[in-house]
Amino acid sequence: MARLAILEARGALKTLSDTLTYYDTQQSGLGARFLRSYDDQIDRLRDMPQIGRAGRVFGTRELIMQDFPFLIVYRVRQEYVQILRLIHQSMKYP
């Protein structure tokens, strides 16, 4: 199977940006660690899009991030993986 493209929703990118900013204010280098972890998870989805559990919303999947309390909510399409949301696990979802 070919590696799938990744499409990230604007809201997911906004949450990613806000989280990086927050973590950088908490500890030097923490934002960079978070981004590496996120990028590693996204890279895994390119090769193994079914790796996440079935999502709470029909038609979605959820991947728990390594080392950080976030879920990556996504949808698998034939040629790409669509990242819908990045959610802190303390947030009520859906």
Q: Is the pTM here over 0.85, yes or no?
A: yes
Higher-pLDDT residue of 66 and 61 is: 61
Instruction: Say if residues 21 and 34 touch (Cβ distance below 8 Å).
Output: no
Domain that holds residue 31: 5-88
Domain count for the chain, please give it: 1
Spatial neighbors of 55 by CB under 8 A, at least 6 apart, are: 61, 62, 73
3-state SS, residue 68: coil
Q: Other CB atoms closer than 10 Å to residue 52's CB: what's the count?
A: 21
Rounded Cα–Cα distance for residues 67 and 50 (Å): 20
The answer to the question of residue 94 being in a domain is no
Q: What is the CATH number of the domain that holds 17?
A: 3.30.2310.20
pLDDT interval class at 1 (50, 70, 90): low
